[in-house]
Amino acid sequence: MTPPVPKRSGPAAAASRPRSVTETLWPLGDGPFGVNALRRRLGPADEVQIELLLRVQPGKRLKALLNMQRLWLRNWRSRVRRGHPELSELEQCWLMFEGFRRNG
């Protein structure tokens, strides 16, 4: 009979266990952008979603991002148009970019 293998603790144990996707992408620990802060905001379903997105080819991810950006800009532009029909197209564009500047 072989003796049981003692369980490791400390940094060696942490290095030997598989890392989650959040630990891989955000390894900063307890800081405001660290994995622990991220886990407080994200649930298990979010980690699964991140893992699924990471399996998609980078080109397809970029294409999806650009499509979402295009949709978002069209939506923003139509809201400005509906809210200020008296403005010219140039003034509406200026107002849209002014809103981007204010809201980050």
Return mean pLDDT, the chain.
77
Domain housing 44: 19-55
Instruction: Answer yes or no: do 64 and 37 share one domain.
Output: no
| pLDDT digit string, tens, across residues 35-75 | 677 667 777 888 888 888 889 999 999 999 999 999 999 99
Alpha helix ranges (H) inside the chain: 11-16, 21-25, 35-41, 44-55, 58-83, 89-103
Residue 77 tokens read as: 């532009």
Q: What is the DSSP letter of 30?
A: T
Distance CA 77, CA 89 (A): 10
Q: Which comes out higher in pLDDT, residue 87 or 35?
A: 87
Instruction: Answer yes or no: do 47 and 86 share one domain.
Output: no
Cβ atoms of 80 and 92 closer than 8 Å: yes
Structural domain contains residue 92: yes
pTM for the predicted model, two decimal places? 0.49
